[in-house]
Structure 1
Amino acid sequence: MVGYYKYISKFGNEEEINIDILESDKDVYNFFHKEKKINCKNIYVSNIDYTPIYQKELLKYFNYIKETIEKEIKDGLAVEEIKTTTILKNNERLEELQKLFGLQQFKCNEEYILVPASDFGVFSLYKDVNLKQDQLPIRLYEFAKCYRIEEKKKDSLKRPTTFNLPDVHCFIDKNVYEEVKKHLVIYSKILKILEIPFFISLRISEKEYQEKKEIIRNIAKELEKDIIVNIVPNSIKYWESKFKYIYKDSNNEYIQLSTVQVDYKTSNIFKIKMEGKNIKIIHSSIGSMERLLYSYLDK
């Protein structure tokens, strides 16, 4: 589902890109940015695995990044900090969510799973709830432990099978993209503090883009960053739009860091309602600690 691309500059100007060879946001980025990145520190962290010996060696960096993230998120968003379980009894709702996510998960046995994302615990906690309008928005923050089966680069900081995810879920019914902008601004600030350079891409359904393109232009101006926009015919997985902050490492590989996604589907699966109606859910994360640590050391 390639769709077509637009390039929104940090000044809010929109330019359509009509080049057949561009098949991904990375291709578009490379078209506009010809330079190659050079690792000036001679630090090569691509193959560092996430074993106890490395955890001990890198703990001071890990703690600094975590403290920076949590300070900015707690100062910038009125979050409620929660802690959900990492083991859940499987059921039809979780299986449906799993299909939407498309993740390979660890099964403890036929009944129980290790959560591949904090969403599984958060939505299980709030299932079948009927909220009042004056309760929204609800912003839930969790420093979550997640487990996934990775087919490539497993055990590296880029794709460990076990990772830590500072994660925010926002239950909301209106002014959705104003909320999205708040999260993007905070994540931009955090990455600037950590001195991790990034570019922004957005994948969004055609309908959503036509309805929200003015605020997307305003987001580009607010962040003072260009946005590569991939417009696709229909929604993908569970989201209508997905903003990504992407780091280009010293090997000229791309690391997805922060994501902010607008979800109109999950509320119906778990029956998370507001006065009997489905709500919108924003899935938001600065990125896994392991990828942030990798990028922090590599930059």
Structure 2
Amino acid sequence: ALKMVFLHSDWVEFEPVKKAVRTADDVEKEKKRIENALVVLTSVEKGDESVVGEAVEEIEDVAVKVGEKRIVIYPWAHLSSDLEKPEKALKILEEMEEALRNKGYEVYRAPFGWYKRFSISVKGHPLSELSREVKKGRKDAEDTGGSHYRIVGQYIVLPDGKIDDIKDGYKERFPGVKAVVKDELGGEFSAEPPAHVELMKRLGIAEREPVADAGCLRWLPNGAFMFELVRRRAWDEVVGKLDYVYPVISPTIIDKADKGVRWLVDHFPERHYKVLPGGRVPKEKDLFLKTSGDYGIFSLHRDTTYSYKDLPVCFAELETDYRYEQRGELRGMHRIREFHMQNMHTLCRDIEEGWRVFEEMWKGIANVFEDMGFGADVFVLYSERDIWERKKEDVVRWAKEYGKPVVVFIVEAEGVYMAAWIDIVVVDSKGRPIETGTAQLDTRSAGPWGMYYADERGQKREAVVVHAGFGMERAFAAMLEKFAREGRAYYEDWLAPVQARVIPVSREHIKYAEEVARKLNKLGVRADLDDSDETLGKKVRRAHTEWIRYVVVVGAEEEKSGTVSVTDRADGSKKVVTPEELAEKIRENCRGKPYLPRVGPLYVSRRPVFGM
């Protein structure tokens, strides 16, 4: 590949000292200083003549984003051990220089083939140091195919509704803005594991499955319990609230022979898990495990006859998807190979109806996250310029409504089927963005898939498609990361597997503690009882490490008065109340949310420690 490191500099100085190769540039040994420039350290590897165009696009992409018109191409052999022959490498660098100059950039090239003295002052913003790798047919080493977009403008909509350019001050003020802009430009983040990797195991939520492929998790009892509650909450928010949504279930194994499938794979390539059929299935079958719900849901939309009066129509599915992420990319519940998606795909009559559904869908997802106890750090809208100009007042309203900034990237699509899409982003404990939920306005898929409706005149019309969804694993990762950043160690009441832990001061109060725990369960509170022989202090600490919000201590005074002493970890308050009063508070906090009774034994001593 052609490898490049981008340094946005206040200044750069270089001075040729001694020729390193016979074909070095013929230049004078004089120092040159260039102010305010994008310096591109470049190594040309063997066979790179074909990627000059891609490299120039990549350079221009970064230049636009950092707002720089002055470019310095700096030959830097140290990025590779497989260098092209000097004469060929020089030719490629000259072609890059000429192409950039033809695009209106002020271009300088440091002498090729020389040992040089070199000094640089790099600007301090998050995008000042980036790296890219360019190969034939793809711009970014992390992508696998032709679904690309080009950013041609960027703005920020502040929580007060002001629209401005993205400035360094906003990146420092809003960590989410800093993270998404850095990520969009290919910036590097800490390699340390984020907080949720340890928390998901310690809290009994999930862990890797040793008999499965890497990146496949097993949900432990606490995690599976909360998973089901979130699934029901998402159902209530979408299927239960919107009268145009229908639940469906579609197959996991997809056949690439279908022309719609082939079109989708070409325009949204993924790392597929291939299915190797046995028996009498023809060997030429090209089967794979689905990477998203589009395939089966698009097929169902295609096979359904619609009138304009029927639309919008949405199919919702909780599905299991597969993506063969590279091993080095796997990270906890954030980047995995098998994952669960709550997906919705809606057919709409036109852009206006699609935009309304688009907003309903992403807000529904955001509502689920808010109920889980975390909100977005930032919203990121990618939009074609025409839609942004027509709908910017809506975006201003969103920023004000949620009190969060919206980063806006104006894009020109190159094979992407979305005209606009929005990501709900949470920043993890190491500063990385987690794209937790999304909605997409798709103006291109209906034709290739044959998703039509009959208009008022009975004429066949292509529908507009709205995709929306969120990954269950990513939602839990985002929740744990947000809580870790905030120093929070308890769940929302409706989501907690155990809402209250009853702890007797001593064994002589076990009977009363059991009465309290059983009464709370009958009143709709998920309560258990720590009947171990450990000290009161250790029992309280165990409840804390298990993220149980209400620690209910009972002793002689409480037994005599029929009360309990409750510590609420949300605010640290301690109160003496009746079991009925505690139950009423918890029920009130859970009002409107799905409910499941406690699972497992009442006594903590009878509960095993699950997993590795």
TM-score tier (shorter)? 0.7 to 0.9
Separation in 1, partners of 2:364, 2:156: 23
Shift of 1:278: 0.8
Is it true that 1:253 corresponds to 2:432 in the alignment? yes
Q: 1:178 aligns with which of 346, 353, 356?
A: 356
Kept in 1, the 8 Å contact 2:423–2:439? The answer is: yes
Give the TM-score normalised by the residue count of structure 1: 0.85
Kept in 2, the 8 Å contact 1:61–1:293? The answer is: no
- Aligned amino acid, residue 88 of structure 1: I
Aligned to 1:201, the other structure's residue is in SS state strand
Shift of 1:176: 2.1
User: Structure 2 matches for 1:4-43, cutoff 5 A?
Assistant: 4-17=153-166, 28-29=177-178
Unaligned stretches of 5+ in structure 2? 1-149, 182-193, 211-216, 277-284, 455-459, 484-612
Task: Provide, for residues 63-121 of structure 1, a one-character-per-residue CA deviation record: whole Å limited to 9, x for no partner.
Answer: 23222222222233221000111112222321210121121112213332211100111
Shift of 1:44: 4.1
Unaligned stretches of 5+ in structure 1? 33-38
- Aligned amino acid, residue 81 of structure 1: P
Say which structure, 1 or 2, has more relative contact order (CA 8 Å, 6+ apart): 1
Residues 258, 140 of structure 1: alpha-carbon distance in 2 compared, 3 angstrom cutoff: same
Separation in 2, partners of 1:14, 1:147: 39
Query: Which residue matches 2:564?
Result: none
Separation in 2, partners of 1:219, 1:171: 23
Identical amino acids, percent of aligned pairs:
18
Shift of 1:265: 0.7
Is it true that 1:85 corresponds to 2:255 in the alignment? no
Q: 2:468 aligns with which of 269, 281, 284?
A: 284
Aligned to 1:64, the other structure's residue is in SS state helix
- Aligned amino acid, residue 158 of structure 2: S
Give the TM-score normalised by the residue count of structure 2: 0.44
Task: Provide, for residues 225-267 of structure 1, a one-character-per-residue CA deviation record: whole Å limited to 9, x for no partner.
Answer: 3211011234661101110001111222211111000000110
Task: Provide, for residues 116-162 of structure 1, a one-character-per-residue CA deviation record: whole Å limited to 9, x for no partner.
Answer: 10011101222255421001000111011111111143373112211
Query: Which residue matches 1:35?
Result: none
Separation in 2, partners of 1:87, 1:115: 6
Stretch deviating more after TM superposition (215-224 or 241-250): 215-224
Shift of 1:49: 4.2
Kept in 1, the 8 Å contact 2:179–2:431? The answer is: no
Q: 2:320 aligns with which of 141, 145, 153?
A: 145
Separation in 2, partners of 1:124, 1:218: 36
- Aligned amino acid, residue 283 of structure 1: H
User: Structure 2 matches for 1:49-198, cutoff 5 A?
Assistant: 49-51=207-209, 54-57=218-221, 58-78=223-243, 79-91=245-257, 92-109=259-276, 110-127=285-302, 129-151=304-326, 152-154=328-330, 156-174=332-350, 175-198=353-376
Separation in 2, partners of 1:182, 1:145: 24
Residues 51, 8 of structure 1: alpha-carbon distance in 2 compared, 3 angstrom cutoff: same
Residues 101, 41 of structure 1: alpha-carbon distance in 2 compared, 3 angstrom cutoff: closer
Separation in 1, partners of 2:331, 2:312: 37
Q: 1:201 aligns with which of 380, 389, 400?
A: 380
Separation in 1, partners of 2:324, 2:300: 24
C-alpha RMSD over aligned residues? 2.9
Size of the aligned set, in residue pairs, is 288
Query: Which residue matches 2:594?
Result: none
Residues 11, 49 of structure 1: alpha-carbon distance in 2 compared, 3 angstrom cutoff: same
Aligned to 1:160, the other structure's residue is in SS state coil
Separation in 1, partners of 2:195, 2:253: 42
Stretch deviating more after TM superposition (114-123 or 149-158): 149-158
Aligned to 1:168, the other structure's residue is in SS state strand
Residues 41, 253 of structure 1: alpha-carbon distance in 2 compared, 3 angstrom cutoff: closer
Task: Provide, for residues 158-185 of structure 1, a one-character-per-residue CA deviation record: whole Å limited to 9, x for no partner.
Answer: 1221111001111111422222221222
Separation in 1, partners of 2:208, 2:226: 14
Shift of 1:207: 2.2
Residues 107, 5 of structure 1: alpha-carbon distance in 2 compared, 3 angstrom cutoff: same
Separation in 1, partners of 2:254, 2:412: 35
Query: Which residue matches 1:36?
Result: none
